[in-house]
Amino acid sequence: MWIYRLLSLCMAGILALFVLAGCGAHAPVTTPAVDTQILEDKAQIENWWYVRFRLNWPENEDPAWYWDTLIAHRIVAPVLEQYDSQIQLWRFHRRAARDGGGHTFSFIFYSSVKTAAGIYADLQADDLLEKIVSASVITKVGYDDLSRTTRPGIADTSDPSWPPVVKKTWPYFIMGASRMWLNIIVETADETADGKPPATIEEMRVFYSGVNDSINEVWKKNGRHAFLHHLNALFGYKPLIYFEKLLLKF
């Protein structure tokens, strides 16, 4: 069962499943006020941190998954490039459900408090993010409280139902899957952009809708062999128990 969950999370991180409403414009949520001394005392403590981008999802419409690709490409990728040497682990999480979480794209990373503070500050100063929020594409941006280090262990954001060996190692796996998904976005966008990125909200909607469609085709046509087959090969082609209680190989 845990292998199925692992594969399901891989699929979700690579495709628009991951696993990710409101109409009014909202300013990005600022990080809670933190005493300077607390930050200095905890500056080098490592912890898992979340940035959650809540997207507008009108009733009776499908989730606009393509905005996830824009956020990953234009908002998060520059942060990853700048802080790469200071982030030990990171990943994306995508989900969309008619519940309290709605359609949310999350950037999750493991770093020191000091690095997290820098990343949060850069995101809050990002002009493109502000523009997207002002257009009500994103209705809320949530940041963790830097004064509370509640996830200091590598396994602390893994599924609690998994065995310890999976919880401790899965973050490395999903970071690789997330990096590949991001690189597919970058490659696809570069091939499509004609020298300049889209500037207006409508241009971005059309452009990243096309990028998302292209990535979906990559997954549809290549996912079984490029991803699932080779993952199965790492485990010696042993079958796994799928959701329907069937033994499957890829």
pTM for the predicted model, two decimal places: 0.84
Does position 142 have pLDDT exceeding 60, yes or no? yes
Using CA atoms, how far apart are residues 164 and 74, in angstroms rounded to an integer?
35
Does position 95 have pLDDT exceeding 90, yes or no? yes
| Block residue for tokens 């409508």 | 202
Joined tokens for residue 77 = 């990728």
Does position 214 have pLDDT exceeding 60, yes or no? yes
Which segment of 10-14, 144-148, 152-156 scores lowest on mean pLDDT? 10-14
Using CA atoms, how far apart are residues 144 and 174, in angstroms rounded to an integer?
21
Using CA atoms, how far apart are residues 214 and 187, in angstroms rounded to an integer?
11
Report the pLDDT value the prediction gives residue 197, as an integer from 0 to 100: 86
Q: What number of CA atoms fall less than 13 Å from residue 51's CA on the CB side?
A: 26
Indicate the pLDDT class of residue 102, thresholds 50, 70 and 90.
very high
**Domain ranges within the chain, ordered by starting residue:** 2-248
User: Could you tell me which CATH number the domain at 2-248 has?
Assistant: 3.30.70.100
Mean pLDDT of 153-169: 97
Nearest-10 crossing angle of helices 127-134, 201-222: 100
Name the helix (H) or strand (E) containing 90: strand 87-97
pLDDT tens digits for 223-237?
999 999 999 999 999
Report the pLDDT value the prediction gives residue 243, as an integer from 0 to 100: 81
Mean confidence (pLDDT) of the chain: 87
Mean pLDDT of 235-249: 84
Using CA atoms, how far apart are residues 224 and 226, in angstroms rounded to an integer?
6
Indicate the pLDDT class of residue 38, thresholds 50, 70 and 90.
low
Name the helix (H) or strand (E) containing 241: strand 240-241
Does position 42 have pLDDT exceeding 90, yes or no? no
Pairing of strands 247-248, 102-112: unpaired
Q: What angle do CA 97, 100, 104 make, to 5 degrees?
A: 55
Q: 181-209 burial by CB neighbour count: b if 16+ within 10 A, else e?
A: bbebbeebbeeeeeeeebeeeeebbebbb
Closest CA to 122 of 53, 76, 71, 89: 76
- Residue length, the chain? 250
Using CA atoms, how far apart are residues 105 and 16, in angstroms rounded to an integer?
10
Q: Are 88 and 157 in contact (CB under 8 A)?
A: no
Does position 13 have pLDDT exceeding 50, yes or no? no
Indicate the pLDDT class of residue 26, thresholds 50, 70 and 90.
very low
**Number of alpha helices (DSSP H) and beta strands (DSSP E) in the chain:** 9, 6
Mean pLDDT of 137-165: 96
Closest CA to 143 of 80, 247, 233, 53: 53
Does position 195 have pLDDT exceeding 80, yes or no? no
